[in-house]
Structure 1
C-alpha cells in the first residue's frame, strides 16, 4: 500500500521493540498538567491519566505522548523540578498499569528527557528542536531513543510574534536539514520531523504548510502532524476548541493524503477511523 510521496517500510526502535510506520499511526495526547489549551486533554491526577490512557490505547493509539508542561501560546514556564516529578509519577504509573505501552515525553529539557527514558519512556518529543536546551541533541543521541524534531521560533511565550518568513517552506526545510545533519553526526537514530503547526506560524502559514506537506518528504524522515483542535481550525470555522473535533478529522484526512506518518491527536478513535478509511481508499485503487 503506497501513495505518492509516502515513506514506506519505516520502523522505530522503541525500548528494543520495532514499531512499524509503513502505515500511519496515532499518537494520543496525555497532558498531566492543568494548563493545556484543551480542557479535555488535562489529566492532572493519577486516576484521570490512567483512565484516559486506557481509552486511548483501546481506541488504537500506538504511542502515548505525555506532557508535564504546557506549550500552548503564552503558557507559563513550569520549573524543571516540577516537570521532572510529574514525569516520574505519570510514566511510573502508566507503565505499571500498561507495561506494553509506548510512551513519548513532550519536553524541551534534556534533564527531563534523561529522567523520562530512565523511567521507561521510548521517545522524546521536543517542541523546540533543540533550541531551548543546548544539551538536548547530545542527550537523545546518547540515549538512542527516537526523537521528534519540531520547528519553532522563540518560546511558547513569544512565538506568536515571530511569524515573519521570506519563504516559509524553504526556511523550514533548511532548518530540518541542518538539524538532521547535527543529530546524525552525534549518532542519533530514528528522527521524526514535525512542521510545528501553530508554533511561530499564523493561520494562513499553517494552511500553506499543510497544502505543501508533501515537500517535506525530500528529508526522507517520517512526518508527524499535530493540528488536533488547534486555533487554525476553530478560528477559521468561528467555533471553539470544544467544537473542533470535526475540523480536526478533516485536516487529519488531508494530512494523510499528503503523506503524514504520525497523527498527534486528542481524539484517538476518530483519527484511527480516518486512517482506516484512507487505507480503504488506497486499497481500492
Structure 2
C-alpha cells in the first residue's frame, strides 16, 4: 500500500477550510452495525460507489469510519478497523485523487493506516482520550484533526448523561483538549472542534448546544456539526425511523451555517448541500 506524505495530504482539507464557505462532510460507514446505514457500504466497491454519489451531490469531504459509535455499541479492535477502512481509503484515493478524505477513529494505529492509504484528516470522537498517541500522530503527520466532546463512551453514554451547564462544560472541555493538542505539537490552524451532538447528551442538552453554536464558532476553531438523523430530533418530530429525519437535519444545517459552524457531517448530501448554500448566501447578504 502506498504511503502518502503529510505535506501533500493536508492541502486538500486545509484549502477547503480556508475558503470560509460551509463544507459538507459525507458519512461513509464501512461497518455492519451503524445506527442508520450499517452494512450498506461494507464492501470497498459499494463504498466507492457511495462516495461518488456523495461527491456528485456536493460533498466536500468523505468521512470513512470502521467502528459504530451509536449508543450501546461495542468497541471494534484496531486491526478490524484497519481491515475495514484502509482498503476503502486506498480505493478512494486511487479512483478520486482530488477527493478530500477523513478517517473517523479514536485509535492512532487506525488513523495512521488510513493516512498511509491516502486520508487527509483525522476525526476523533474521543478527542485523544482513548489513545495517547493521537495527538503525537496528528502533530507528526501535519493533518487536520477534529476533537469531539462525548460524556462517557458509546456503550454507556446515553444511560444517564448529566450536566450543570452543558454549553459551558462542553466548550471548556473542547478548549482544554485543543490546548493539550497544541502543546503536543498540533498546529492551531489544523484543529477542528465538535460539540458532540447526541454523544452523552439529553434532548435539552442537544438543543442548548445548537442554540449556542455561535459561542463555539467564536473560539476561533472551525466547528464541525454532526446532527444527521439523530434520535433527539425524532423525539421532537415524532419520527422513529432515522432515514425520515432528513428535513430535521437540513434545519439544523441551516441554523448551523447562520451560527458560524463550518463543517456539516451528514448522510444526505444533496439536501444538506442546498440548505447550507442558501443559508450561506443569506449570511453573506446580511453582512452588507
Which residue of structure 2 lines up, in the alignment, with residue 269 of structure 1? 270
Q: CA deviation at 1:103?
A: 0.5
CA contact (8 A) 1:106 1:124 kept: yes
Q: CA deviation at 1:283?
A: 4.3
Tell me how far apart the structure 2 counterparts of residues 72 and 162 of structure 1 sit (CA, whole Å).
15
- How many residues are aligned here? 273
Q: The residue matched to 1:43 in structure 2 has which SS? A: coil
Which residue of structure 1 lines up, in the alignment, with residue 3 of structure 2? none
Which residue of structure 2 lines up, in the alignment, with residue 4 of structure 1? none
**1:195 and 2:192 aligned:** no
Gaps of 5+ in 2: 1-7
**1:128 and 2:118 aligned:** no
Q: CA deviation at 1:139?
A: 1.5
Which residue of structure 2 lines up, in the alignment, with residue 99 of structure 1? 97
CA contact (8 A) 1:194 1:224 kept: yes
CA contact (8 A) 2:10 2:142 kept: no
Q: The residue matched to 1:39 in structure 2 has which SS? A: coil
Tell me how far apart the structure 1 counterparts of residues 284 and 168 of structure 2 sit (CA, whole Å).
33
TM-aligned CA distance change 1:194 to 1:283, over 3 Å? closer
Q: The residue matched to 1:124 in structure 2 has which SS? A: strand
Which residue of structure 2 lines up, in the alignment, with residue 36 of structure 1? 34
Q: The residue matched to 1:161 in structure 2 has which SS? A: coil
Counterparts of residues 93-242 of structure 1 (less than 5 Å): 93-189=91-187, 190-239=190-239, 240-242=241-243
Tell me how far apart the structure 1 counterparts of residues 55 and 102 of structure 2 sit (CA, whole Å).
14
Q: CA deviation at 1:95?
A: 1.1
CA contact (8 A) 2:120 2:143 kept: yes
CA RMSD of aligned residues (A): 1.6
Q: CA deviation at 1:161?
A: 2.7
Q: Residues 172-230 of structure 1: CA distance to partner in whole angstroms, max 9, x if unpaired? A: 12111211111111220210000000001011100010011111133210000000100
Q: CA deviation at 1:269?
A: 0.8
CA contact (8 A) 2:25 2:61 kept: yes
Q: CA deviation at 1:16?
A: 3.3
Which residue of structure 2 lines up, in the alignment, with residue 16 of structure 1? 11
TM-aligned CA distance change 1:175 to 1:284, over 3 Å? closer
Q: CA deviation at 1:260?
A: 1.0
Q: CA deviation at 1:66?
A: 0.2
Which residue of structure 1 lines up, in the alignment, with residue 5 of structure 2? none
Q: CA deviation at 1:40?
A: 7.3
Which residue of structure 2 lines up, in the alignment, with residue 77 of structure 1? 75
Q: Residues 222-276 of structure 1: CA distance to partner in whole angstroms, max 9, x if unpaired? A: 0000001000111211112121111111111111111110110001111110122
Q: CA deviation at 1:30?
A: 0.2
TM-aligned CA distance change 1:193 to 1:283, over 3 Å? closer
Tell me how far apart the structure 2 counterparts of residues 83 and 230 of structure 1 sit (CA, whole Å).
23
Tell me how far apart the structure 1 counterparts of residues 163 and 176 of structure 2 sit (CA, whole Å).
17
Q: CA deviation at 1:129?
A: 0.7
Q: CA deviation at 1:47?
A: 2.1
Tell me how far apart the structure 2 counterparts of residues 192 and 41 of structure 1 sit (CA, whole Å).
28
Q: CA deviation at 1:39?
A: 2.6
Among candidates 38, 63, 66, match of residue 64 of structure 2: 66
Q: The residue matched to 2:218 in structure 1 has which SS? A: helix
Q: CA deviation at 1:43?
A: 0.6
Q: Residues 39-93 of structure 1: CA distance to partner in whole angstroms, max 9, x if unpaired? A: 3783111221111100111111110000011111111221211101111111111
